[in-house]
Amino acid sequence: MFLGAVKPNFILLKKDFPIFRMTKSQKIVSSSVEETVSIAKKFAAGLKAGNVLALEGDLGSGKTTFVKGIASGLGLNDSDAVKSPTFVLMHIYPTRIPLYHFDLYRLEGNADLAAVGLEDFIYDPKAITCVEWAEKAGNFFPSSTYRIALKILGSDKRQIEIKKASLE
């Protein structure tokens, strides 16, 4: 179904996690929904096929809003189409680079994770994958994953921290 998807074995996945990692991180404070969308849109401009975004943070912290900005930055005109895929677990948007949007909120344990087949998507070199509630998947992600941690600072304020592990 996913032509060209690279499916590494688990040994490779583990080796991919060095014991010592340096992490590049950037923190931004957003003061409105529009600002979060615009931050995500700018961030999307630098994304390439194969990139993975692991979004973490409480309910209402802005994960779906951030994905809306990513989708819009990748050329999706109808940002209303972007909704938390809480019940279906995944949406695919017909963006410039196809965008897979997961929500693991309802995920219970590793058996569920295997059933979702997440690795088929996050290792698809032709698409970009956004995963809400990534904390539910633990260390499942490749080391090149962008970690987007969102925090509620106030009614309209959100801290957006973007981290990328780096091997240099």
Ligand X SMILES: Nc1ncnc2c1ncn2[C@@H]1O[C@H](COP(=O)(O)OP(=O)(O)O)[C@@H](O)[C@H]1O
Residues in 73-92 that interact with Mg ion by CB under 5 A: 84
Residues forming the site for ligand X (CB under 6 A) = 30-33, 35-36, 57, 59-65, 84, 132, 156, 158
Nearest approach in angstroms of CB 39 to ligand X is 9
Asked if 64 touches Mg ion (CB under 5 A), the answer is yes
Q: What is the C-alpha separation between 31 and 5, in angstroms, rounded?
A: 38
- Which residue, 63 or 147, has its beta carbon nearer to Mg ion? 63
Q: What is the C-alpha separation between 94 and 64, in angstroms, rounded?
A: 17
- Which residue, 63 or 136, has its beta carbon nearer to ligand X? 63
Q: Any idea which residue has 């819009």 for tokens?
A: 72
Q: Which residues contact 68 (CB under 8 A, 6 or more apart)?
A: 37, 40, 79, 82
Nearest approach in angstroms of CB 64 to Mg ion is 3
Q: Please report, as a single letter, which amino acid is at residue 16.
A: D
Nearest approach in angstroms of CB 95 to ligand X is 18
Q: What is the CA radius of gyration of the chain?
A: 15
Residues interacting with Mg ion, by CB under 5 A? 63-64, 84, 132
